[in-house]
């Protein structure tokens, strides 16, 4: 095994899947010659050619629509949205077409497509390069949504997404690309969609998070440990469908839950986790479930002070955990 | 239960001044409530008829709990439904009670009040669903479990602690009336109890004892205490008091102790050093305009500090009268909330018990506290290197070192000393 970046996991997964399965193609803005703005697809056009690594025009609706057509006709496209912020023009294609075709065609057609999109803030991306859009898609049956927070999960989840028979939204937090390092097992492996990962076990409270926030939650747990607080950290990994068993069994252990997410607080992923716990595990609860999230502001500010105000971080998680334990 | 003061979280119903069926005017006192600090009369927020007394005398309720119902009459009918559960004229809740037979009774009298049973009270225990389930499974009445959580909640740890002590607690709790277990004030987790030795007994914490404990711990934890001692020659004050005492007590009708003399000097010195008359405000220092002096009064079950307002405008006689009134009412439990709020400085008199030296704890958030110790005759070296017998007294002065430093504290004490030693036959008492 070798220690690698999270973006290495993304690249390796695409490389290995394209080598393994000639139906796998990649399309998106600058994914070819440029190798992607984050270098996720570096070297792929040279190896697999322009027919399978396609530089698309600036038009996200077109990229999604073309990918859906490819998928319906037997290919396994990976459509890259250069930034999740630009996914909104493709919303109609994803929600009205990709997510519904299997249902609408009575199982005759299906869309084995992956949409990859770098998301999240804390990188001085300001309002058009910092958005967290996962909640829009969590509302849509027919989609799957995954968010890795380790290099191994990045690779294993992307392979599972490519091999899935239905559309999968694969969100990569930009800040984790080179911040998070970890071992990637050698050889071909997958990480199942729909299974959360216990980052660390604890007994005093459960912190549920994903993406960069799972990384921060682990750091916060180390800090809390110094105060004698044993925090369990659950990386949700898959937001749709949520791993209900993992969430409920963790609450059954700790009886206190904190959901951390970077997206705007209202109607975010945390709402669904909190509702699940309230409905299924009320009599396990020792305190109301808490959410720590980005504020309900229209956009991530650019300047450092305001950006830090917007972003949850390990200190804020520690503080929220303390409050939860005191309530 | 109205909010009866900043830190007051609950109150105990004292005497009902109005009974069911009584007409009450807006602002008319309807019930006496005892808090951990004072007894207060609660005025009626509406005019109307008292239709139901929900909280019985002796019952302790947290702030915000209903204590009675009043049916509004005459007033703006739009407000009425909001104010009372019974929107129109009160109707008897139990017609079988026979009250309706008295045709000339101006107000129908509802059935006799029944105190809430334990089963009804059970719903009031604040806790989490998980703890409720655990208690239910274990067959434990959460009413009996002392609470340590936020806002008086029974926590998991409280329940576990209670279960561990179950044999002793169950025996003790069984004969006690449910009301004894009802007060659940937020408190820090109690330390592990030492095993009881033969002859030991437990004293339940009264609300006042608990408040004193919390305040003292908070003061010692938050304020870095520094203490200074000054020795004052009180011989002239002793002589002055001796000379005028009989006349004073006849004229004013209150005893003349040394407290007014020391308080007078302390207050005058506060005018000279206003920074002593201050509070720590977190990110600032609050230098108070008025001088409201707290007088520490020992009462049978604890200690209370009523406030002598605008003490800087009072003569020695005025201080004596004001202090006597406060002390008398404190010992009788007749202080009102305004008597104990807003102090800016505290004077303490452990000397009345014979103490000659102490290190007082500051009454938060004030900056300082002055203790006057016992006046004792001592041989001292006086002017001309002679040795004389003088009436000497120590002043013990604790101050919050965040607010002021030793230099100012000692200048202040020197000023108090100078003023006391300068008192004599010409001092204006009235």
Q: Which residues between 316 and 335 in chain B have a beta carbon less than 8 angstroms from any beta carbon of chain A?
A: none
Whether B130 and A283 lie within 8 Å, measured CB to CB: yes
Residue A212 pLDDT class (50, 70, 90 cuts): very high
Is B196 domain-assigned?
A: no
Tell me whether residue B370 is in a domain: yes
- Find the length of chain B: 430
Mean pLDDT of chain B, nearest integer:
81
Residue B269 has pLDDT above 60, yes or no: yes
Q: Would you call B155 and A286 a contact, using CB atoms and an 8 Å cutoff?
A: yes
Residue B128 to residue A282, Cβ atoms within 8 A: no
Any B CB within 8 A of A228 CB = no
- Identify the domain boundary among B116, B133, B154: B116
pLDDT of residue A97 exceeding 70, the answer is yes
Q: pLDDT tens digits for B90-115?
A: 444 444 434 444 444 444 444 444 44
More confident residue, B27 or B363: B363
- B232 shares its domain with B360: yes
For chain A, the straight-line distance linking the first and the last C-alpha, in angstroms and rounded, comes to 44
Confidence at B328, pLDDT banded by 50, 70, 90: very high
What is the per-residue DSSP string for B347-375?
Answer: EE-GGGGT-----PPP-TTBSEEEEEEEE
Contacts of B156 in chain A (CB under 8 A): 255, 286
* pLDDT exceeds cutoff 50 at A104: yes
Show Cβ contacts of residue A323 under 8 Å, excluding neighbours closer than 6 positions: A290
Q: Which segment of A48-62, B184-198, B330-344 scores lowest on mean pLDDT?
A: B184-198
B374 lies in a domain? yes
Pairing, β A205-209 against β A231-235: parallel
- For B341-380, how does the pLDDT look when each residue is reduced to its tens digit (9 = 90+)? 889 999 999 999 999 999 999 998 899 999 999 999 999 9
- Segment B14-18 mean pLDDT: 86
Q: What are phi and psi of B281, to 5 degrees?
A: -115, 30
CATH number at residue B390: 3.30.559.10
Is the confidence at residue B177, as pLDDT, over 80?
no
Among the listed residues A244, A240, A222, the one whose alpha carbon sits nearest the alpha carbon of residue A231: A222
Task: Assign B167 a pLDDT band (cuts: 50, 70, 90).
Answer: low
> What's the pLDDT score for residue B9?
75
Residues B152 and B36 in one domain: no
Find the domain containing B91 and state its range: 10-116
- A323 close to A290: Cβ distance less than 8 angstroms: yes
Cα dist. A12→A15, A188, A194, A276 in Å? 5, 10, 22, 35
- Asked if the Cβ–Cβ distance from A286 to B128 is below 8 Å, we say yes
Whether residues B21 and B140 share a domain: the answer is: no
B163 and B75 share one domain:
no
Last residue of a domain, one of B190, B215, B248: B190
The per-residue pLDDT for B106 is: 45
Nearest CA in chain A to B133: A283
Chain A residues near residue B152 by CB distance under 8 angstroms:
none
Give the pair of three-digit tokens for residue B216: 């003292």
Annotate B30-72 with DSSP letters as a single string.
Answer: EEEEE-SS-EEEEEPSS-EEEEEE-S-TT-EEETT---EEEEE
- B334 — pLDDT class (breaks 50, 70, 90): confident
Confidence (pLDDT) at A262: 97
Instruction: Enumerate the residues of chain B whose CB falls inside 8 A of the CB of residue A327.
Output: 150
Residues B262 and B151 in one domain: no
Tokens 């939650």: give the residue.
A217
Query: B5 lies in a domain?
Result: no
On average, the pLDDT of chain A sits at 96
List of chain A residues whose C-beta atoms are within 8 Å of the C-beta of residue B150: 326-327
Indicate whether B213 belongs to any domain: no
CA angle A140, A145, A149 (to 5 degrees): 155
Selecting among B88, B204, B301, B405, the annotated active-site residue is B405
Pairing of strands A2-5, A181-184: antiparallel
Contacts 24+ apart (CB under 8 A), A275-282: A276/A242, A276/A244, A276/A247, A276/A248, A277/A247, A277/A248, A277/A251, A280/A244, A280/A248, A281/A248, A281/A251, A281/A252, A282/B129
Q: pLDDT exceeding 90 applies to what percent of chain B?
A: 44
- Of A119, A122, A144, the residue nearest A132 (C-alpha): A119
Chain-centroid distance of CA B97 in Å reads 42
Give the pLDDT confidence score for residue A79 in this predicted structure.
98
Pick from A3-17, A119-133, B67-81, B353-367: least confident: B67-81
Structure tokens at B323: 């202090």
- ipTM (interface pTM): 0.71
Residue B409 pLDDT > 90: yes
Strands A53-55, A76-80: parallel, antiparallel or unpaired by DSSP?
Answer: unpaired
Question: DSSP letters along A101-150, please?
Answer: HHHHTTTS-----EEEEEE--SSS-GGGS----HHHHHT-TT-EEE---S
B156 & B228 share domain: no
- When pLDDT is averaged across residues B113-135 and rounded to a whole number, the result is 66
CATH number (domain holding residue B57): 2.40.50.100
Instruction: Answer whether residue A8 shows pLDDT above 50.
Output: yes
Over residues B281-322, the pLDDT tens digits come to: 888 999 999 999 999 999 887 889 999 999 999 999 999 999
Question: For residues B375-388, b (16+ Cβ closer than 10 Å) or e, as one string?
Answer: beeeeeeeeeeeee
**Out of B130, B132, B150, closest to residue A255 by CB:** B130
Q: Do B131 and A286 touch (CB under 8 A)?
A: yes
Among B residues 146-165, those touching chain A with beta carbons less than 8 Å apart: 150, 155-156
Indicate left, alpha or beta for A174 from its phi (over 0: left) and psi (-120 to 50: alpha): alpha
Give the closest of A283, A326, A327 to B133, CB-based. A283
Do the chains contact at B130 and A285, CB–CB below 8 Å? yes
What is the β-pairing status of strands B23-24 and B48-53? antiparallel
Tell me the H-state helices in B61-149. 80-83, 118-122, 129-138
Boundary residue ending a domain (B116, B138, B162): B116
For residue A297, what is the DSSP state? -
pLDDT of A213-269, one tens digit each? 999 999 999 999 999 999 999 999 999 999 999 999 999 999 999 999 999 999 999
The b-or-e profile of A38-54 (16+ CB within 10 A means b, else e) is bebbeebbeebeeebbb
Phi, psi of B383 (to 5 degrees): -50, 140
In-domain check, residue B326: yes
Same-domain pairing of B23 and B106: yes
What is the reported pLDDT for B6? 59
pLDDT of B166 above 90: no
Residue B285 shares a structural domain with residue B413? yes
Give the least confident one: A83-92, B189-198, B331-340: B189-198
Enumerate the residues of chain B whose CB falls inside 8 A of the CB of residue A282. Answer: 129
Query: What is the model's pLDDT at position A202?
Result: 97
> Do B235 and B347 belong together in one domain?
yes
A132 Cβ contact list (under 8 Å, min separation 6) = A84, A119, A120, A121, A261, A262, A263, A264, A294
Q: Residue B118 has what pLDDT?
A: 39
State pLDDT tens for residues B236-262.
Answer: 999 999 999 999 999 999 999 999 999
Q: Are B108 and B149 found together in one domain?
A: no
β-strands A257-264, A290-294: how paired?
parallel
- Beta B285-287 vs A76-80: how paired, if at all? unpaired
| CATH number of the domain within which B133 lies | 4.10.320.10
- Is residue B192 very low, low, confident or very high in pLDDT (cuts 50, 70, 90)? low
Residue B195 forms part of a structural domain:
no
What domains, with CATH codes, occur in chain A?
2-184 (3.40.50.970), 197-326 (3.40.50.920)
Q: How close, in Å, is residue A209 to chain B by CA atoms? A: 23
For residue B71, tell me if it sits in a domain: yes
pLDDT at B223: 93
Helix boundaries (H) for B123-258 = 129-138, 156-164, 166-173, 178-181, 207-222, 235-252
Domain tally, chain B? 3
**B401 a catalytic residue:** yes
Per-residue pLDDT, averaged over B404-425, amounts to 95
**Per-residue b or e along A4-18, where b marks 16 or more CB atoms closer than 10 Å to that residue's CB:** bbbbbbbbbbbbbbb
Token pair recorded at residue B174: 């069984």
Q: Please tell me whether residues B48 and B97 are part of one structural domain.
A: yes
Q: What are the φ and ψ backbone dihedral angles of A267, each rounded to 5 degrees?
A: 65, 30
- Residues B253 and B389 grouped into a single domain: yes
């Amino acid at each position: 095994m070798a220690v690698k970046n999270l973006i290495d996991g993304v690249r390796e997964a695409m490389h290995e899947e394209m080598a393994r399965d000639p139906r796998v193609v990649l399309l998106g803005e600058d994914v070819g010659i440029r190798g992607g703005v984050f270098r996720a697809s570096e070297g792929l056009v040279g190896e697999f050619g322009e027919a399978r690594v396609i530089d698309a025009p600036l038009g996200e609706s077109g990229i999604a629509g073309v990918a859906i057509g490819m998928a319906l006709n037997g290919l396994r496209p990976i459509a890259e949205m250069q930034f999740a912020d630009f996914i909104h023009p493709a919303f109609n294609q994803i929600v009205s077409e990709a997510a519904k075709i299997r249902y609408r065609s009575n199982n005759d057609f299906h869309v084995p497509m992956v949409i990859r999109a770098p998301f999240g803030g804390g990188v001085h991306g300001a309002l058009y390069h910092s958005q967290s859009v996962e909640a829009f898609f969590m509302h849509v049956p027919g989609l799957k949504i995954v968010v890795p927070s380790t290099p191994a999960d990045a690779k294993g989840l992307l392979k599972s997404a490519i091999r899935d028979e239905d559309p999968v939204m694969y969100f990569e937090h930009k800040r984790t690309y080179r911040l998070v390092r970890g071992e990637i097992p050698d050889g071909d492996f997958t990480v199942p969609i729909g299974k959360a990962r216990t980052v660390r076990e604890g007994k005093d409270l459960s912190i549920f998070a994903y993406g960069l926030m799972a990384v921060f939650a682990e750091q916060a747990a180390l800090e809390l440990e110094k105060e004698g607080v044993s925090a369990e950290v659950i990386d949700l990994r898959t937001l749709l469908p949520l791993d209900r068993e993992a969430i409920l069994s963790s609450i059954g252990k700790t009886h206190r839950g904190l959901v951390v997410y970077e997206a705007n607080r209202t109607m975010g992923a945390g709402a669904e986790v909190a509702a699940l716990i309230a409905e299924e595990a009320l009599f396990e609860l020792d305190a109301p479930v808490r959410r720590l999230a980005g504020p309900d502001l229209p956009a991530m500010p650019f300047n450092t002070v305001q950006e830090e105000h917007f972003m949850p971080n390990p200190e804020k998680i520690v503080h929220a955990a303390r409050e939860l334990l005191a309530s | 239960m109205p909010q009866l003061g900043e830190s007051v979280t609950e109150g105990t119903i004292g005497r009902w001044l109005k009974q069911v069926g009584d007409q009450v005017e807006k602002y008319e006192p309807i019930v006496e409530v005892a808090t951990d600090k004072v007894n207060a009369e609660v005025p009626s927020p509406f005019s109307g008829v008292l239709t139901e007394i929900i909280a019985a005398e002796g019952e302790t309720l947290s702030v915000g709990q209903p204590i009675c119902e009043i049916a509004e009459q005459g007033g703006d009918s739009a407000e009425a439904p909001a104010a009372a559960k019974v929107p129109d004229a009160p109707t008897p809740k139990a017609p079988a009670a026979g009250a309706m037979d008295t045709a000339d009774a101006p107000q129908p009298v509802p059935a006799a009040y029944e105190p809430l049973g334990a089963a009804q009270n059970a719903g009031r225990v604040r806790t989490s669903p998980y703890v409720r389930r655990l208690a239910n499974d274990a067959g434990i009445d959460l009413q009996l479990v002392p609470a340590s959580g936020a806002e008086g909640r029974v926590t998991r740890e409280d329940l576990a602690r209670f279960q561990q002590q179950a044999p002793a607690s169950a025996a003790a709790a069984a004969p006690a009336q449910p009301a004894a277990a009802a007060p659940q004030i937020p408190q820090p987790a109690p330390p592990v109890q030492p095993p009881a030795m033969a002859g030991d007994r437990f004293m339940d914490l009264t609300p006042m004892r608990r408040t004193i404990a919390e305040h003292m711990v908070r003061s010692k934890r938050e304020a870095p205490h520094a203490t200074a001692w000054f020795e004052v020659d009180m011989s002239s004050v002793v002589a002055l008091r001796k000379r005028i005492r009989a006349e004073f007590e006849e004229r004013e009708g209150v005893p003349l102790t040394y407290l007014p003399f020391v308080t007078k000097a302390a207050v005058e010195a506060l005018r000279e050093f206003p920074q002593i008359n201050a509070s720590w405000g977190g990110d600032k220092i609050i230098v108070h305009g008025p001088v409201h002096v707290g007088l520490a009064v020992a009462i049978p079950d604890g200690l209370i500090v009523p406030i002598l307002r605008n003490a800087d405008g009072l003569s020695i006689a005025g201080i004596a009268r004001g202090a006597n009134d406060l002390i008398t009412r404190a010992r009788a439990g007749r202080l009102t909330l305004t008597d104990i709020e807003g102090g800016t400085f505290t004077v303490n008199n452990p000397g009345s018990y014979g103490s000659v030296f102490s290190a007082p704890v500051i009454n938060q958030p004030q900056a300082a506290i002055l203790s006057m110790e016992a006046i004792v005759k001592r041989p001292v070296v006086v002017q001309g290197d002679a040795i004389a017998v003088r009436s000497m007294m120590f002043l013990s002065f604790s101050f919050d070192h965040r607010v002021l430093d030793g230099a100012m504290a000692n200048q202040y004490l020197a000023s108090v000393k100078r003023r006391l030693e300068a008192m004599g036959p010409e001092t204006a008492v009235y």
